[in-house]
Amino acid sequence: MQDEGLDDGNRTNSNPSSRQKRDNMRKILILLMALLFLGCGSAAKEKDLEIDGKKLISRKPPFTLTFPTEFQLAHSSTVEYPNESSLTRSYFFIKEKEKQIEEMLIIQIADRTNPQAEAMTAPPLKPETTKRMYSDGKVKKGGLEVDYLIQLMAWNPAAPSLQPIVKKGIVIPPHWALQGQFLFLYQGEHAVFFRHSRDVNSFGMKISEKGDDWGNGVISGNEKKAYETFQNHFMQIIDSIQIKIQ
């Protein structure tokens, strides 16, 4: 009995320490499981859209396309719009040279969050001005209509939409840039808006800084060569689009 009493006494003295260790282990396991859960959620979210080499892969909605060059992800975000029963996922991809952006890619995908809400709609693409050279059109991909537009525009580092990457120390030069856009609606559930722009000084030619030299019907020389080169590359992107209808 005494031995039993001694054992009981020993257990009484040791139990608080053991319980504390077990509690600590439980807390650590719970924390690890929570981090693992959050990590899996983030990975799944990122995999809705990713770039593998020169290939862009979207799983929601399902489509792919191929670029003439490789990009790296600089920023992504999601914004909900409860009043419109939608949320918008934005992805910023960049290609840098000498520590500043040479090419930029912005992809925005709007998702309908309420199946009972009206189908997704989007206004048609329009050039910033018809005075400067531009081209537009429509193509059929996977039974869907894809609108596209190519134009000259100016990069503005102060633009609110670019602040997420500017705040990361990424330099966006305030240069003229050639921009290609495309837009398509996917079965009323998604709207995909794609913008690819490239610094006009990245074509290896002396380019005019005057917007008038890019005038519609008067463009010539190196400006015309740069425009045609960009147009050719962008139309290759358009041609590579493959949309899977589910």
Average pLDDT on 185-198 reads: 97
DSSP state of 82: G
pLDDT for 24 equals: 53
pLDDT for 42 equals: 38
pLDDT for 99 equals: 85
pLDDT band at 36 (very low <50, low <70, confident <90, very high): very low
Q: Are 53 and 23 within 8 A, CB to CB?
A: no
pLDDT band at 138 (very low <50, low <70, confident <90, very high): very high
CA–CA dist 133, 152 (Å, integer):
7
pLDDT for 33 equals: 43
The amino acid sitting at 19 is R
CA–CA dist 214, 176 (Å, integer):
10
Residue 35 scores a pLDDT above 60: no
pLDDT for 81 equals: 95
pTM of the model: 0.79
Q: Are 181 and 189 within 8 A, CB to CB?
A: no
Average pLDDT on 182-190 reads: 97
pLDDT for 4 equals: 34
The secondary structure element, H or E, covering residue 93 is strand 86-97
Average pLDDT on 106-132 reads: 95
195 alpha carbon, distance to own chain's centre: 10
pLDDT band at 22 (very low <50, low <70, confident <90, very high): low
Nearest-CA neighbor of 191 among 176, 181, 204?
181
Nearest-CA neighbor of 198 among 169, 164, 232?
232
The predicted-structure confidence for 216-245, as pLDDT tens digits, reads as follows 989 999 999 999 999 999 999 999 999 999
pLDDT band at 18 (very low <50, low <70, confident <90, very high): low
The predicted-structure confidence for 23-34, as pLDDT tens digits, reads as follows 555 544 444 344
Cα-atom radius of gyration of the chain, to the nearest Å? 27
CA–CA dist 156, 118 (Å, integer):
34
Sign of the CA dihedral 10, 11, 13, 14? positive
Residue 8 scores a pLDDT above 80: no
- Weakest-pLDDT range from 37-51, 181-195, 207-221, 226-240: 37-51
Instruction: Name residues whose C-beta falls within 8 Å of residue 197's C-beta, 6 or more positions apart in sequence.
Output: 103, 104, 105, 153, 155, 177, 178, 179, 180
Structure tokens at 182: 């495309």
The predicted-structure confidence for 152-171, as pLDDT tens digits, reads as follows 999 999 999 899 899 999 99
With tokens 């409860």, the residue in question is 82
pLDDT for 7 equals: 33
- Weakest-pLDDT range from 36-45, 97-106, 192-201: 36-45
CA–CA dist 233, 178 (Å, integer):
11
The predicted-structure confidence for 169-179, as pLDDT tens digits, reads as follows 999 999 999 99
